[in-house]
Structure 1
Amino acid sequence: MALSNDNVSYAAFLSLDQGSSTGSGFILSFKGKEYIITAKHVLFDGERLRCDSLLITSQNHLGEIDDAKTVVIDEMSEIKIVKSHDSDIAAIFLEDENHFRVEQEGKNIISIQEDNIDKLEDIRIANNILLIGFPTSLIIEGARFFDVNRPLLRKGIVAGINSKDNTFIIDCPVFYGNSGGPVVEYKENGEIKLIGIVSKYIPFVTEWRNNRESAFSRQEFSNSGYAVCVPIDEILTLLSK
């Protein structure tokens, strides 16, 4: 199954402890098993789990809420999770149905397959990318600009590759809630491949100093429009083991 822009329901909205925190992720089918992939920091604060329960919603950006697939994990401490030691990426195993329940099956929900994936070594600078996620921090109380359950899409390019840190950079602004969201690359042959997940935005820092007392200073952080992403290589290596 080739990826296209018509159905991005493999993207997953993660609501921790009934919305106390949120993140993005995606559904991965790997060697006959199903996983939810996301950024490690979405689920963990150091080694401590951030939540007791998790609601996972997958819905195409063109679909209705009745078309969504919803999975509930009531006891996160009971579910199997594998996380990278060095990279900001983790996988939730959806294999033991005693530890999660499917509340709604959904309609036309797809997952990322092994042949939909390219590794870091296959990423090409300046190729177009598509970021898919759920930036809940853009929601303003009293104003409804978008449906939080539907993924928002954003285009950019591969701006840089940092092989030493096993990361790549996109020229695409991300916001709180985008963490863990899938990034796909448009290849020269027309194919679309998943290449990684969003880890964090790169800030632009402005420092202000008092012209009479240089010891008094203030820093302001703004979004530079660039983001750090983790390639899918690391989690595939862990899952293979």
Structure 2
Amino acid sequence: MRNIPDNNLAYPVFINIDNKYTGSGFFLNQINNKIYLITAKHVIFDNKTIKTKGKIATISCQSSDINSDELKQYRLDFETLAKNGKIIVHPTSDVATIEIFEITQFNVETNSHMFNLNDGVTIVRETSTGNTVSVNPNAVALFNEVLISNDIILYGYPSSLGLQGRPQFNYSKPLLRKGIVAGLNKPTKTIVLDCPSYFGNSGGPIVQIENHLDGRRTHMIIGVMSEFIPFEEQWINTKSGLLNTHVSNSGYSIAVSMDKVFEILKYTPPKKE
């Protein structure tokens, strides 16, 4: 058996803005009969100008058929979506949501949702097999359900890795990374992960593996990848008085808990039994 459910491999969505900026995200469904794209705020917004990094984003989704290499693609017009109030960002946390679809009904025969695309969203490419995978709120764990030392998996598209002209992996497929919950920051409701992240991973989902006393194993999304924790070293040349600062990736990362996503969606998840 695979360590994770097969459909979890299709969770991450690749985000490409104006063929210039990239990041990761995932779909969250059944929130007020809508489906949202969840990502990190800095993936789509410039921190200095507080404006979107571009006009058009192309998002590529894996098929629920894990043996398929086909990608379903959507085109997002940020100006139209923002004008219609479909882009929401958290005022203090690094998360953002974009309303993509409105669910109309559930098709029992195909086991999939019927939906209407919002203005500003168009389908660029269809797939012949499988469906687009989205996360149900029942598969989400809140901050108070995250346990230090539990195994986690980071999903995303670390497009900054590898050597130019010498591809070592398929950039159209997500890469998984395993780590543990290293710590919890209660004031900010952020999660410290013993798991390195790189440019392109931002916005990707973090899944906690939960082992239950009855032998069950569940996989719950606990957060959105935000940033890595840097390790800073400084060298001083006493002769010349020059200061050299070197910043590297410490191997620890920060994820924003799903509580912050639910806050901006004004959604209160039902209590788990």
State whether TM-score is above 0.5: yes
Q: Is the 8 A contact 2:194 2:252 kept in 1?
A: yes
Distance 1:121 1:227, change over 3 A: same
CA deviations on 1:45-79 (whole Å, 9 max, x unpaired) are: 1321111000001115944432x221111x21111
TM superposition score normalised by structure 2 = 0.82
Runs (5+) with no aligned partner, structure 1: none
Whether 1:233 and 2:259 are equivalent positions in the alignment is yes
Paired residue for 1:38? 39
Paired residue for 2:271? none
CA distance in 1, matches of 2:67, 2:197: 23
The aligned amino acid for 1:206 is E
The aligned amino acid for 2:257 is P
Q: Percent same amino acid among aligned pairs?
A: 34
CA deviations on 1:12-71 (whole Å, 9 max, x unpaired) are: 0000102x01001101103221111000000111321111000001115944432x2211
The aligned amino acid for 2:193 is I
Q: Is the 8 A contact 1:60 1:150 kept in 2?
A: no
Runs (5+) with no aligned partner, structure 2: 102-116, 268-273
Whether 1:55 and 2:78 are equivalent positions in the alignment is no
The structure with more radius of gyration: 2
Paired residue for 2:89? 83
Shift of 1:234: 1.2
CA deviations on 1:138-174 (whole Å, 9 max, x unpaired) are: 0321111111111100000000000112201000000
User: Within 5 Å, which residues of 2 pair with 1:59-138?
Assistant: 59=62, 62-66=66-70, 68-73=71-76, 75-79=77-81, 80-95=86-101, 96-106=117-127, 107-138=130-161
Paired residue for 2:110? none
Q: Is the 8 A contact 1:71 1:103 kept in 2?
A: yes
Secondary structure of 2:98's partner? strand
The aligned amino acid for 1:34 is I
TM superposition score normalised by structure 1 = 0.92
Paired residue for 1:212? 239
Distance 1:230 1:176, change over 3 A: same
User: Within 5 Å, which residues of 2 pair with 1:170-189?
Assistant: 170-189=193-212
The aligned amino acid for 2:174 is P
Shift of 1:5: 3.7
Total equivalences in the alignment: 235
1:191 counterpart (211, 214, 218): 218
CA distance in 2, matches of 1:212, 1:5: 59
Q: Is the 8 A contact 2:45 2:53 kept in 1?
A: yes
Q: Is the 8 A contact 2:99 2:118 kept in 1?
A: no
CA deviations on 1:179-213 (whole Å, 9 max, x unpaired) are: 00100000122110000011000011111110313
CA distance in 2, matches of 1:123, 1:151: 24
Shift of 1:10: 2.0
Q: Is the 8 A contact 2:80 2:119 kept in 1?
A: no
Paired residue for 2:11? 10
